[in-house]
Structure 1
């Protein structure tokens, strides 16, 4: 992949995140009461509705490629990564998680472990994982008030 295409990909991802933020996010509160009662979310990535319960089960399932589950590396509920360079996923935007997993799966984003973990994920599994991790308590920090 050339530098130009990587730059365009990064710009496209950033733009999708900005648009998701401007639209008020993708929280379950924006879905019908029936969807919320079922624990469903949706994604701007064009994925099917995600199911929080299915995502929780999948997050604890060992992957065939690496023998690791999501929570083995990112911690319970995605908030205690085993390495400080690994992201906290708990409370992250559904679309960010979904787009990131799609990019790992499709080879547009590379990481020694994540590329292997994501390569066999279906659209439904990606939607379910994104729904689960985005529904967890947020332990994310931004750069406000850092000098």
Structure 2
């Protein structure tokens, strides 16, 4: 019974299949100025988006869009995004594999 409940709880934790990461990749071209073409930030004050969980990215973009989270550039960029745009962007950045190596 516990295994069944655990598997049921984990169903929503994987990458969402309904989102279109290819469409997100196209939409993300506008993000590359600060966040890099593969989601690794090129601007020193911009966060890396590659490998971030889709649910986290969706939440943050929605918060920028509705003004719940404030940033002068991100609020303007997120305002015209549809729910589908946000889901696709999140799917794209979440699909990028990130490997960390120590020295």
**Could you tell me the TM-score, scaled by structure 1's length?**
0.57
**Matched pairs, number:** 93
Mapped pair 1:26 → 2:13: yes
* 1:72 equivalent in structure 2: 33
C-alpha contact 1:91 1:140 (8 A) present in aligned 2: no
* Per-residue CA distance 1:34-63 (angstroms, 9 max, x = gap): xxxxxxx26xxxxxx311100001111xxx
* 1:59 equivalent in structure 2: 28
**Could you tell me the TM-score, scaled by structure 2's length?**
0.80
Structure 1: state its 5+ residue gaps: 1-21, 29-40, 43-48, 61-68, 142-147
Aligned-pair CA distance for 1:85: 2.0
Q: Write the distance in 2 (CA, Å) between the matches of 1:94 and 1:119.
A: 19
Q: Of the candidates 58, 77, 101, which is equivalent to residue 98 of structure 1? A: 58
Q: Write the distance in 2 (CA, Å) between the matches of 1:25 and 1:92.
A: 15
* 2:97 equivalent in structure 1: 137
Aligned-pair CA distance for 1:83: 2.1
